[in-house]
Amino acid sequence: MMKRLGILTSGGDAPGMNAAIRAAVRTASGRGLSMVGYIDGYTGFVAGEFQELDDRSVGNIIQRGGTFIGTSRCDEFLDADVRAAAVRQMRDAGVDGLVVIGGDGSFRGALALQVEHAVPIAGVPGTIDNDVFGTDETIGFDTAVNTAVLAIDQVRDTSESTGMMFFVEVMGRRSGAIALHTAVAAGASGVLVPEEHESIDVLVRRLRESIARGKRSHIIVVAEGDEAGGAFAVAQQVGKEVGHPYRVVVLGHVQRGGRPSARDRIIASQAGALAVTALAEGRYGVMIGRQGGMPVEVPFDEAVKTVRPPGALELLHLAQTIS
Ligand code: F6P
């Protein structure tokens, strides 16, 4: 019988994480469960550092980006002895189960706790990258794409006014999801992503043709992890070959912060609440994903199986066709 749950956010923060924590805490309290929040993700879990969370402590956070309990990338947690000590500490503090909010790396840590120590865990996919297997959407992705699109709309004003090409780098070391969605929504002339090799020659030819047609604004979206290098490397090569003035904009962590979109608040609230419901009802080792527009429980070992293939690759073709 569960009495007390822990919650942590891990890896890169994502807009909507606070909404998920809020929903989890309030669902727990509605079921008579107390909850603690581990500080800075697995770092606080290892150190036994947490704060009590009650209904009031999660007031006025649904609209805030980031995560108010902190997050980290905790290399120490890769060590099985460290994990064992952390679980002993967790049990001494009377914590019976854990809600983990993060990406696939965070879930690999959670799966280890479940397999090695039978810790009851429910996961909530939270990462701007939208690269978790078993869910169509992750918390933070919608906000990140909207932030990037807004920034590009502004850059386009300058591109149109001056005729310069702009290479805009968006986040995604291993995932082109943000780049692909942003490129289509912002009407980009080209997009480069890590999952697909796009020939620079083709991009150069297309840009030359559109300049010859009299088009003035040119936006090329480059995912941070593209094999050609970041936006600076691509710009140098393409800019030289096209022979046209250009500028580079790296959006970076601007995309990770900011107030979550309504969409992210809603899916985060659903997932946070359902994660606690799963634990309270004895369904352990599941991630609350979304498939076909509905929340679903996905077994953890499936969710960490592999990096999700970008469901959005069809957008690559669309972006090129309609640019
Ligand atoms: O996983 C989210 C993400 O923002 C990626 O898009 C990016 O590659 C990475 O985190 C950056 O991580 P850090 O903030 O640790 O440099």
Pick the residue whose CA is nearest to atom 13 on ligand 1: 12
pLDDT surpassing 80 at residue 300: yes
Name the pairing type of β-strands 165-170 and 50-53. Answer: unpaired
Percent of all residues in the chain with a pLDDT value above 90, rounded to a whole number: 87
State the distance from the centre of ligand 1 to the C-alpha of 114, rounded, in angstroms: 26
What DSSP state is assigned to residue 139? B
Confidence of residue 211 (pLDDT cuts 50, 70, 90): very high
State the distance from the centre of ligand 1 to the C-alpha of 38, rounded, in angstroms: 21
155 or 301, higher pLDDT: 155
State the distance from the centre of ligand 1 to the C-alpha of 172, rounded, in angstroms: 7
* DSSP character string of 54-104: -TGGGTT-TT--S-TT-----GGGGSHHHHHHHHHHHHHTT--EEEEEE-H
**pLDDT tens by residue, 71-94:** 999 999 999 999 999 999 999 999
pLDDT surpassing 70 at residue 308: no
Say if CB 116 and CB 271 are below 8 A apart: no
> Active site includes 92?
no
pLDDT surpassing 70 at residue 130: yes
Q: What is the pLDDT of residue 236?
A: 95
CA distance 321 to 249: 24
pLDDT surpassing 80 at residue 115: yes
**pLDDT tens by residue, 260-299:** 999 999 999 999 999 999 999 999 999 999 999 999 999 9
| Average pLDDT estimate for 5-34 | 98
Phi, psi values for residue 41, rounded to 5°: 65, -140
**pLDDT tens by residue, 146-168:** 999 999 999 999 999 999 999 99
Residues at CB less than 6 angstroms from ligand 1: 12, 73, 103, 127-129, 171-173, 224, 256
Say if CB 288 and CB 300 are below 8 A apart: no
Range with lowest mean pLDDT among 98-102, 164-168, 193-197: 193-197
Q: What is the pLDDT of residue 164?
A: 97
State the distance from the centre of ligand 1 to the C-alpha of 12, rounded, in angstroms: 6
149 or 323, higher pLDDT: 149
Confidence of residue 311 (pLDDT cuts 50, 70, 90): low
Task: Indicate which atom in ligand 1 lies nearest the CA of residue 174.
Answer: 8
Task: Indicate which atom in ligand 1 lies nearest the CA of residue 224.
Answer: 8
Task: Indicate which atom in ligand 1 lies nearest the CA of residue 255.
Answer: 4
218 or 310, higher pLDDT: 218
Q: Which residues contact 91 (CB under 8 A, 6 or more apart)?
A: none
Q: pTM score, two decimals?
A: 0.96
Q: What is the pLDDT of residue 320?
A: 81
Pick the residue whose CA is nearest to atom 5 on ligand 1: 172
State the distance from the centre of ligand 1 to the C-alpha of 283, rounded, in angstroms: 31
pLDDT surpassing 80 at residue 57: yes
CA distance 75 to 114: 18
| Average pLDDT estimate for 229-235 | 93
User: Annotated catalytic residue: which of 104, 129, 131, 136?
Assistant: 129
Site to probe by mutation for ligand 1, drawn from 128, 141, 182, 195 as the one with most ligand atoms within 8 Å of Cβ, is 128
CA distance 99 to 113: 12
Q: What is the pLDDT of residue 196?
A: 82
